[in-house]
Structure 1
Amino acid sequence: MLHFSRWKTTIIWFIVLLGVVFAMPNILTQRQLDALPSWLPSQPMTLGLDLQGGSYILLEVDRASLVAARLNSVRDDVRLQLRTANIGYTALTETGQVVEFRLRDPAQSAATREALRTLTEPVSGGLLTGGSVVETNLEEPQPGVFRLSLTEQGINYRLSTAVAQSIEVVRRRVDELGTTEPIIQRQGMDRIMVQVPGLQDPARLKALLNQTAQLTFRLVDTQNSAQAVAAGQQPAPAGSELLYSTDNPPQPFLVQRQIMVSGENLTDAQTSFDQQTNEAVVSIRFDARGAQRFGAVTQQNVGRPFAIVLDNQVLSAPNIREPILGGQAQISGNFTVQSANDLSVLLRAGALPANLNIMEERTVGPGLGADSVAAGQNAGIIGAIFVVVFMLAAYGFLGLIANVALFFNVVLLVALLSWLGATLTLPGIAGIVLTMGMAVDSNVLIYERILEERKAGRSVIQSIDAGFHKAFGTIMDANITSLIAAAVLFFLGSGPVRGFAVTLALGILTTLFTAITLTRWLVAYWVKVRRPKEVKRGFFTFVNKTTRIPFMAMRRVAFALTIALSLASIAGLAGMGLNYGIDFTGGTVIEARSKAPEADLAQIRSSLSNIIEGEVQVQEFGSARDVLIRFGSQPADLETPQTSINAVRGALQADYDFERVEVVGPSVSGELAVAAVLGVVGAMLGIMIYVWVRFEWQFAVGAIVSTAHDVIMTIGFLVITQAEFNLTSIAAILTIVGYSLNDTIVVFDRMRENLRKYKKMPIDTLIDLSLNETLNRTIMTGVTMILALAALYFFGGDVIRNFVAPMIVGVLVGVYSSVFIAGPMLIYFKLRPEKADMVEAAQANTAKEA
C-alpha cells in the first residue's frame, strides 16, 4: 500500500491544489477578489444569518382567508351567471365552504344547472397535482334550493397555486429592498421560507410581507350613512360594506362592493410629492384596459367620492372633480416618505393571492453576527493549536505528518463549502472543529496499528504497510456511521442544524481522503526519502501496551452503575423535565442591547408585564448591557401572528437595540419536536442496520444499547443542568450518536479480528484483550475530541456553549460505554467461542476427509 504510481501522485496533489485554489477566496479582501482573473474561483463561503446578520422568516398561506376569498368569488360568479340567464333568486348566503340560494321559480332548476355548469367543470391541475380538479360541487337538496360547496381537492389546488404565486410576489418585494442573494423557497404544501442575509431593517421586511396589497378603486355609497351603520343603527345595505380608513382614529366609510378598477391593471407605482401640499404621494399608471375603465368611471361619476382601498382599508376617498383620462392618478393618505416608498414597492410587486402568516422568525443583528464570526474564528484557531500540539507530543514526526494532512483536510473542507455554495453557520464552525478531531482519530488508528505491528516484530516498512491496510476497514466503518447521522440531521433538520450536518458530512469525506490517501502518500514519501530504521513514538503514551485490565470482571458493577444512572436520568426527565426552548414549546426569545451603559432588568419586566401573558424571563446575557428575554406563545398571536413581538418592540425599542429575535409558532414547534424524535430514532435505526450488515446481529444490538446509554446519560446531564434544550441540542445528541458508534465500531472491529485469530479463547478474555489493545487509541481520540470541543466551549461564545456542553459529556460517556456497555452485551447475547470451535472442528474434519 506504500507504492504510488506517477499518475496517482499527480491526481492526489491535483485535488489538493484544487482545494487550495477554491479555498483561497476566503482569505482575500474584496479588492483582491475583484482583481482575480475571471477563470479563477472567486466565491468565498456563504455566511449564515447567525454570522452576518439578517432575517429568516417562515410564512404560511392563510387557508381561511383563501377559502373566504374563493367563496366570495363563487358567490359573485353565481350572481353574475343567474343575472345573465334572467333567473330570479333570493336568500343568497355563504357559510363555511358553501354558497346557497333559493329560486323564485323552482321550475327554472334545469336552466339554473345549465347557467352554473361552468362553475362545476373540472380545471387542469397542472404538473404538481396532475389530471383535473373539480373545485365546486352543485347540489339541490330540495326543489328550488341550490348549494355550491368548495371541495377539499379544489381548495388544495388553490392553495398550491397561491403558494407559487406568492413566491414570485415575495421575491419581487424582497428584491425591491436592495438586499443581496435572498433565498426564497417553498416548504411543504402551504409554506414559504424567506432568508435575507445582511438585512438591516427586519421590521420593514415583515411589514412588506404581511400585506396582501390588494388595491381596489370603489365608489362610496352616498345614499346611506356610514356613521349609522358603524353605530349599529342600521345594517349595511346590499351591495355595500363598511370599511375604515387608516387615519387615527379610523373613520368609517360605506363603499360599494363592486370593484370598478383593481390593482391588477397597474403598470407602475412611484413615490412623488403633491405640488400643492408638498406631501408624499404615490403616483400610479394603468395599462390600456385599466386606463379605459378608470376614465369611464371618473367620467360617469364626477362629483362623487371615489374610495382607494388597500387590503380592506380606505387610504383616501377624494371627490372626482373631473374625468381622469390619461391613465395616471395619485394615491394620497397622510404618507411619510418611507410609507409611500413601501406602498410603491407593494404595488409594483403585485398583490398576494392570500394573507401570509409569519409562523417562525429568526433575526440576528449584524453586530451580533460579527461577534459570532470572531468567536468562531478564535475557537477554531485555538482548537487547531490544541490538536496540533497534542499530536506532535504524542507521535513525534508521524504527528507532524498528521498535522500537515489535517491542514489540507480543513483546506479541502473550506473549498468544498465554497464550491457548493453551502451556508456556513455557527454550528457549522463547530462542525469544522469537530472534523479536526475526527480527522485526527483516523490518523491515531493508523499510527497505533503501525506501532502495534512494529512491536510484533515486523520491519518498519511492513509495519507501516500493515498499519494502513488493517486500519482501512475500521476507518471506513467508523466514518460511515457518522455519515449516516449527518444525513439524518440534514433531511430532518432545518436552518443552522442543516448547516452543521452539511459541514460534518463534507468533513467526513475530506477526512477519508486525507487519512487513506494523502497521509499514506506523505508517509510513503518519508519512508522512500529517509529510509527510517525505527518508528518512534512521541513524548508520552496514555496506556502501556502490556496493560491487561480485566474489564469484563467489572462488568456487573459497571452495569449496576449504568442502570442506576439511566433510571435516575429517566426519573429526572419525568420529574423535572427538560428546559425546552422555543423550538419545541413555541414562543419568543429576544437578545437586546441597552443603549445605556447597563440594562435595567426590573424596568424591562415592568414594561412587559402588561403586554405579555404568563411568565416573562429576563436575564443578563454576557455583558451588563446585554439582556435575554423569553416568553411563551401568546393567545393574541393565534389570531394575529406577531402581535406580541410588535408590542414588545414598541415598548423597548427606545432604550434597546434588538440584536437577535427568534419567534416560533406553536404549530411549527410541534412539527420540530416530531422531527427531532424521528431524527434520533432514524439515525440509530440506520446505524444498527449498517452494523448488522457489516458484523453480526449481536454487534448491532450491543452498538445500539451502548449508544442509547450515551443518549440517556446526555439527556440526564441536560435535565440536571437545566440547559436550554433546542434544535441545536438535537444536533449535539445526533453527533454523540455518530461519535459513540465511531468509538464502538473501532473496538468491535478489533474483537471481530481477534475472533478469527483466537478461535478457542473464551469470549470474556477475548473482549478484555481487544479492549486493552485499543485502549490507548480510545483515550487518545477522546482527548483530541475534548481538546477541540473545549476550545469551542471556552472561546466560541455564549450562543454555541449550550451546543457544545452536551457533546463534551457525550464524548466522555461514549468512551465509558465502548468499554463497559458494548463489550459485555456480546457476552449476554451469547457471541461465544463454542460457535468458533464448531467451525474449526468442521474445517478439520473436512481437511481429514480430503
Structure 2
Amino acid sequence: MLYFSRWKTIFIWFTVLVSVLVAVPNLFSDEQLEAFPSWMPTKKVTLGLDLQGGSHIMLKIEQADIIKERLETTVGDIRAALREAGIRYTGLSGVGQQVQVRITDADKVEAAKQALSSLSEPVSVGGLTGGTIQEVTLQEDGTLLRFNLTDEGIAYRTGSALTQSMEVVRRRVDELGTTEPLIQRQGNDRIIVQVPGLTDPQRLKALLNQTAKLSFHMVDMSMPVEEAINGRPPATAEVLYSVDDPAVPYLIEKRSLVSGENLVDAQASFNQQTNEPVVTFRFDSRGAQRFAQATQENVGRPFAIVLDDQVISAPVIREPIIGGSGQISGNFSVEGANDLAVLLRAGALPATLTVVEERTVGPGLGQDSINAGVLASGIGAIFVVLFMLGFYGTFGVMANIALAANIVMILALLSLLGSTLTLPGIAGIVLTMGMAVDSNVLVYERIREEAKSGRSLVQSIEVGFNKAFATIVDANLTTLIAAAVLFFLGSGPVKGFAVTLAIGIVTTVFTAFTMTRWLMAVWFRWQRPKHLPKGVRTGMFDAQNIRFMAIRRYTFAVAGALSLISLVGFTTLGMNLGIDFQGGSIIEVKARSGQADISDIRDRLSELNLGEVQAQGFGDPASVLIRIQAQEGGENAEQSAITMVRGELEDAYEFRRVEVVGPAVSADLTKMATIGVAASLLAILVYIWFRFEWQFALGAIIATLHDVILTLGLYVFLGIEFNLTSIAAILTIIGYSLNDTVVVYDRMRENLRRYKKMPLDVLIDISVNQTLSRTVLTGSTTLLALIALYIFGGEVIASFTLAMIFGVVIGTFSSVYIAGPVLIAFKLRPETFQERDAEVEAARPVSGKVEA
C-alpha cells in the first residue's frame, strides 16, 4: 500500500524546508542579509568569475631561475670553501646543471674534496614523513671536480620556492583590498589566482609578474659607464639601466649594501618639498645598522636603489643615514608609488612567475550573463511545466512540484558546499530541469502500463515505482560517471558544470522517489480514485507498433556513412580548435559609444605584427570578438600581445572579456581532455558490463561512439570552435545517450525473460515501442529546455548548447537504431537469461511462497 510513516513524512518536508531556508539568501543582497536574524542562514551561492566579473590567472614558476640561483650559490660556496682552505684552483664555472673546478695542485685534490664535502651531503626535506635528498653529486676526473645539481634537488627547491611564492602572492593580492581572493597550488610548479570583482586585471598582473628583489648598491666610479659598455667592466661591477625613458646606464657594484629582506615597512607618501609621490621605507635593526655604516663610509658618492635589475634612482649620499629609514623617489605616479609599496611590503618572490593562462571577465559582461541565464532558465522551466501539465494533468502537477523542490535543493547544496556557480553551471541546471522529469515519466508510464494490464490503481502505483527504481538508478548513474570524470579532470567553468550536473542527478533521484511518491500517496488517500486521472494523455503512443528493426540495415548504413564522413572530415579538414587547445588569445570588446567598426579594428591590429588576427561581430552591433593566434616566443609573448592590443583599442572600446592560454597550458588541456573522454567511456563500459551482458555493454559503447563521432562532425563541418566547454558538451552527450540507451536496454532485458521464444528483432521492436512515450517526452522536455538556453542564454554558451541539442537528437536515434541492431549482430539470445534464471532458482532456498 501507499503508506508513509510519520517520520518519513517529517523527514521529506524537513529536508524541503531546510533547503528553502538555505536557498532563500540568494534572493537578497548582502546589505539585506545583514538584517536577517542570527539563526537564519546567510550563505549564498558563490558566483563564478564569468558571472560576477574578475580575473583568473595561472602563474608558472620559472624553474630556470631556480637552477640559475642554485648554480650561482654553488659557485660561490666552492670559491669561499677553497679560499678558506688555502687551496689554489682555476676554471671555476657553471653551465646548465653542472659546476666544475680544476685544482691546481694534484696533491691537494683530496683536501679540496674534504673542504667541499658539505656540498654533496644529503639535505633533510622535513615534513611529516621526514627523509633526505641529495642536491649535489660529485664526479672526479683527475684534478677536475664536477658538481652536478640533481633533478630531485631542483624539484625540492622548486616546490619550496612555490610555497614561498604563494605566501608572497597572497600578501600582494590582499594589499589590493579585494574580497575573498582564491589562491591555490596546482601541480608542482603553478599557482592559480582568482580575484572576483577585479576591474583592473593589468594592475594585478603587473604586481604578480614582478619579482620585487630590492637591493642597495654603490655606483662604481672607477671608470666611465660608456667605457664599461664598450669595453669590459670590472669583475666586481655590472652595467644596469634605469627605468627612465630613454634608459640611463649605471655601472653598479655587484655587492649589495642592504637587501629588501631587511625591510619591515614601506608606504606611499608625498615629498614635502616637491609634493611628488615617493615611497618611504624602514629597515629592521640589522638593516639599519648596515645601511648607516655604508652611508657613513661613502658620503659624497652616489648609490643605486635597484629593483629587479633596474635602477629606480641613484641619489648622492649627502650625509650618513642613521635612522634606519629613507625614501625612494623616481618620478612615480600615485598608483605607481602605491604598487611599489605593496611589492616591498609583501616581499620578494624567490623566482619569476610567468602568466601562462588568463581569463578575465568585466563586471558588465558578468551581469549580462546572469540576466541571460536567469531568463533562459525561467523560459525553459515554463516550457517543461506546461509540457508536463499538458501530458499528465494531475500527475504533471506532482512532477512540477517535485521539479521546483529539485531546483531549490540544487541551490541549497551549492550554497552549503561553497561550490562556484558558473555560466555552464546555469546550463547544467537548465539541463537538469529537462532531464529531471525523466524519472517522473518513467514512473508514470510504468504505472500506466500496470493499470492497463488489469491491476488495481493502488497496485499499479506500488509496482510502477518499484519497477522504475532500478531503471532510474542505472540511467542516472551513467550520467553521474560522466559528471565525475568532468569534475576530476576538468577545470574552472567545466568543473562548475560537473558539480551542478552531479548535484542535479542526486536531487532528481531523491525527489522522484520521496516527494513524488508522497504526493501521490496523499492524492490517492484524498481522492480514492479507481482509475488514472483523465489528464494523462500519453495513451496516444500505445497504438503504435512501429517496426524499427525492419529498416535497421538502412539506418545502420546511413549512420555508418555519416560517421565515416565525420571521421574523414576530422582527419582532413580538422577542427576549429579554440585557444584552450592551441594557445592564443580571445578578446571581447564593446564600443564605448555607437557601433563597433570591425574593419578599423582589423586595420589597427594588423599593424601590430601579431600574426593572424580575426575580428567578427559578436551578439549586438557594438560588440566584437577578436582572436589572436598563438605567439612565437612563449608565455611572455602572449601577454605582450594583449598589452599591445589594449594600448591600441582601449580608448574607444571597453574590454569585456580576455582569455589568454599559453602553449604550456594548452598542451596540458589537450592531454587532460583526451584522457577525460577515454576514462569516461571506459568507466561506463565497465558499469554496463557489470549490470547487463557483454553484448549490451558493447552495444552501448558503439552507440555512444557513434554520437561522439557525429558530434565531432558537427564541429568540423559547421566550423564551430572546439574548446573546453565542448568537452563538457561531449561528456554530457555521452551521459544523456547512455541514459536513453539503458532505459531501452532495461526493457529489453525484462522482455527477454518474459518472451523466451520471441525472435530478437520482434522483441526489440516491442521494447522500443513500450518505452516510446518515455523517449519522446524526455527528449522533448530536454530539447525545450536547451532550445530556450540556446535562444536566450547568450553568445558565450551558444555553441555549447547547440552541440547539446544535436547530441539529444542523435542520442535518441542511436538508442534505437544503433544499440538495438548491435544486439542482433552479436547474437544476443534469451538462453543467456534462461540459464541465469535457472541458476538463481536453483540457489534459492526451498520455502513456502506467498503470491502477491
Superposition map of 1:240-319 within 5 A:
240-319=237-316
Q: Which amino acid aligns with 2:393?
A: G
Q: CA deviation at 1:543?
A: 4.5
- Distance (whole Å) between structure 2 residues aligned to residue 518 and residue 353 of structure 1: 57
Q: Which amino acid aligns with 2:546?
A: I
Superposition map of 1:663-678 within 5 A:
663-678=660-675
Q: Which amino acid aligns with 1:37?
A: P
Q: After superposing the two structures, state which structure 1 stretch, 257-266 or 106-115, moved more.
A: 106-115
1:237 is matched with 234
Q: CA deviation at 1:790?
A: 0.6
Q: After superposing the two structures, state which structure 1 stretch, 354-363 or 322-331, moved more.
A: 322-331
Are the equivalent residues in 1 in contact too, given 2:699–2:818 (CA < 8 A)?
yes
Q: 1:627 to 1:845 in 2, by over 3 A?
A: closer
- Distance (whole Å) between structure 2 residues aligned to residue 833 and residue 486 of structure 1: 34
- Does structure 1 residue 387 correspond to structure 2 residue 384? yes
Q: Pick one of 658, 663, 674 that aligns with 2:655.
A: 658
Q: After superposing the two structures, state which structure 1 stretch, 477-486 or 132-141, moved more.
A: 132-141
1:334 partner SS? coil
Superposition map of 1:399-418 within 5 A:
399-418=396-415
Q: CA deviation at 1:835?
A: 4.2
Q: Which amino acid aligns with 1:749?
A: D
Q: Which amino acid aligns with 1:187?
A: Q
- Distance (whole Å) between structure 2 residues aligned to residue 537 and residue 34 of structure 1: 49
Q: 1:640 to 1:721 in 2, by over 3 A?
A: closer
Are the equivalent residues in 1 in contact too, given 2:610–2:641 (CA < 8 A)?
no
Q: Which amino acid aligns with 2:178?
A: T
2:750 is matched with 753
2:623 partner SS? strand
- Does structure 1 residue 370 correspond to structure 2 residue 373? no
- Distance (whole Å) between structure 1 residues aligned to residue 342 and residue 136 of structure 2: 35
Show CA shifts across 1:501-556 (max 9, x none): 00000011100110111111111111111111221253743852132111111111
Are the equivalent residues in 1 in contact too, given 2:435–2:782 (CA < 8 A)?
yes
Q: CA deviation at 1:416?
A: 0.2
Are the equivalent residues in 2 in contact too, given 1:67–1:97 (CA < 8 A)?
yes
Show CA shifts across 1:794-818 (max 9, x none): 0001111111001000000011111
Q: Which amino acid aligns with 1:179?
A: T
Q: Which amino acid aligns with 2:824?
A: I
Are the equivalent residues in 2 in contact too, given 1:542–1:780 (CA < 8 A)?
no
Q: CA deviation at 1:5?
A: 0.7
2:564 is matched with 567
2:70 partner SS? helix
- Does structure 1 residue 801 correspond to structure 2 residue 760? no
1:156 partner SS? helix
Q: CA deviation at 1:152?
A: 0.8
Q: Which amino acid aligns with 1:221?
A: D
- Distance (whole Å) between structure 2 residues aligned to residue 355 and residue 842 of structure 1: 68
- Distance (whole Å) between structure 2 residues aligned to residue 793 and residue 329 of structure 1: 61
- Distance (whole Å) between structure 2 residues aligned to residue 177 and residue 309 of structure 1: 24
Superposition map of 1:501-580 within 5 A:
501-536=498-533, 538=535, 540-541=537-538, 543-580=540-577
Q: After superposing the two structures, state which structure 1 stretch, 299-308 or 370-379, moved more.
A: 299-308
Show CA shifts across 1:151-173 (max 9, x none): 11111001001110111100110
1:3 is matched with 3
Are the equivalent residues in 2 in contact too, given 1:543–1:775 (CA < 8 A)?
no
- Distance (whole Å) between structure 2 residues aligned to residue 373 and residue 337 of structure 1: 35
Q: CA deviation at 1:183?
A: 0.6
Q: CA deviation at 1:358?
A: 0.5
Superposition map of 1:75-154 within 5 A:
75-127=75-127, 130-143=130-143, 145-154=144-153
Q: 1:842 to 1:745 in 2, by over 3 A?
A: closer
Consecutive unaligned residues of structure 1, counting only runs of 5 or more, are none
Q: Which amino acid aligns with 1:227?
A: E
1:590 is matched with 587
2:812 is matched with 815
Q: 1:846 to 1:688 in 2, by over 3 A?
A: closer
1:304 partner SS? coil
- Distance (whole Å) between structure 1 residues aligned to residue 112 and residue 135 of structure 2: 18
- Does structure 1 residue 338 correspond to structure 2 residue 332? no
Show CA shifts across 1:437-465 (max 9, x none): 12101000000111111111111111111
Q: CA deviation at 1:78?
A: 2.2
Q: Pick one of 686, 694, 711 that aligns with 1:689.
A: 686
1:615 is matched with 612
2:222 partner SS? coil
Show CA shifts across 1:655-675 (max 9, x none): 211110000011211111111
Q: CA deviation at 1:841?
A: 9.1
- Does structure 1 residue 766 correspond to structure 2 residue 770? no
Q: CA deviation at 1:843?
A: 10
- Distance (whole Å) between structure 1 residues aligned to residue 672 and residue 840 of structure 2: 51
- Distance (whole Å) between structure 2 residues aligned to residue 835 and residue 623 of structure 1: 60
Are the equivalent residues in 1 in contact too, given 2:355–2:635 (CA < 8 A)?
no
Are the equivalent residues in 1 in contact too, given 2:585–2:638 (CA < 8 A)?
no
Show CA shifts across 1:27-55 (max 9, x none): 12323210112222101100000000000
Q: Which amino acid aligns with 1:195?
A: Q
Show CA shifts across 1:771-802 (max 9, x none): 11001110110000000101100000111111
- Does structure 1 residue 67 correspond to structure 2 residue 67? yes
Q: After superposing the two structures, state which structure 1 stretch, 51-60 or 26-35, moved more.
A: 26-35
2:456 is matched with 459
- Distance (whole Å) between structure 2 residues aligned to residue 256 and residue 845 of structure 1: 93
Q: 1:128 to 1:595 in 2, by over 3 A?
A: farther
Q: Which amino acid aligns with 1:685?
A: L
Show CA shifts across 1:757-777 (max 9, x none): 112212111111111100111
1:44 partner SS? coil
Q: CA deviation at 1:229?
A: 2.3
Scaled by the length of structure 1, the TM-score of the pair is 0.97
Q: After superposing the two structures, state which structure 1 stretch, 65-74 or 772-781, moved more.
A: 65-74
1:635 partner SS? coil
Show CA shifts across 1:173-214 (max 9, x none): 001111111111100010001111100100000000000001
Q: After superposing the two structures, state which structure 1 stretch, 606-615 or 564-573, moved more.
A: 606-615
Q: 1:12 to 1:840 in 2, by over 3 A?
A: closer
Are the equivalent residues in 1 in contact too, given 2:638–2:660 (CA < 8 A)?
no
- Does structure 1 residue 352 correspond to structure 2 residue 344? no
- Does structure 1 residue 480 correspond to structure 2 residue 444? no
- Distance (whole Å) between structure 2 residues aligned to residue 838 and residue 270 of structure 1: 83
- Distance (whole Å) between structure 2 residues aligned to residue 405 and residue 537 of structure 1: 21
Q: Which amino acid aligns with 1:788?
A: A
Q: Which amino acid aligns with 1:12?
A: I
Are the equivalent residues in 1 in contact too, given 2:180–2:196 (CA < 8 A)?
yes
Give the % identical residues: 59
Q: CA deviation at 1:76?
A: 2.1
- Distance (whole Å) between structure 2 residues aligned to residue 612 and residue 843 of structure 1: 74
- Distance (whole Å) between structure 1 residues aligned to residue 380 and residue 374 of structure 2: 10
The aligned length equals: 845
1:127 partner SS? coil
Q: 1:838 to 1:117 in 2, by over 3 A?
A: closer
Q: 1:361 to 1:119 in 2, by over 3 A?
A: same
Q: CA deviation at 1:324?
A: 1.0
- Distance (whole Å) between structure 2 residues aligned to residue 116 and residue 255 of structure 1: 31
Q: CA deviation at 1:840?
A: 8.1
Are the equivalent residues in 2 in contact too, given 1:636–1:644 (CA < 8 A)?
no
Q: CA deviation at 1:334?
A: 1.2
2:850 is matched with none
Superposition map of 1:28-47 within 5 A:
28-47=28-47
Q: After superposing the two structures, state which structure 1 stretch, 169-178 or 87-96, moved more.
A: 87-96
- Does structure 1 residue 220 correspond to structure 2 residue 219? yes
Scaled by the length of structure 2, the TM-score of the pair is 0.97
Are the equivalent residues in 2 in contact too, given 1:637–1:643 (CA < 8 A)?
no
Over aligned residue pairs, what C-alpha RMSD do you find? 1.9
Q: CA deviation at 1:226?
A: 1.7
Q: 1:843 to 1:266 in 2, by over 3 A?
A: closer
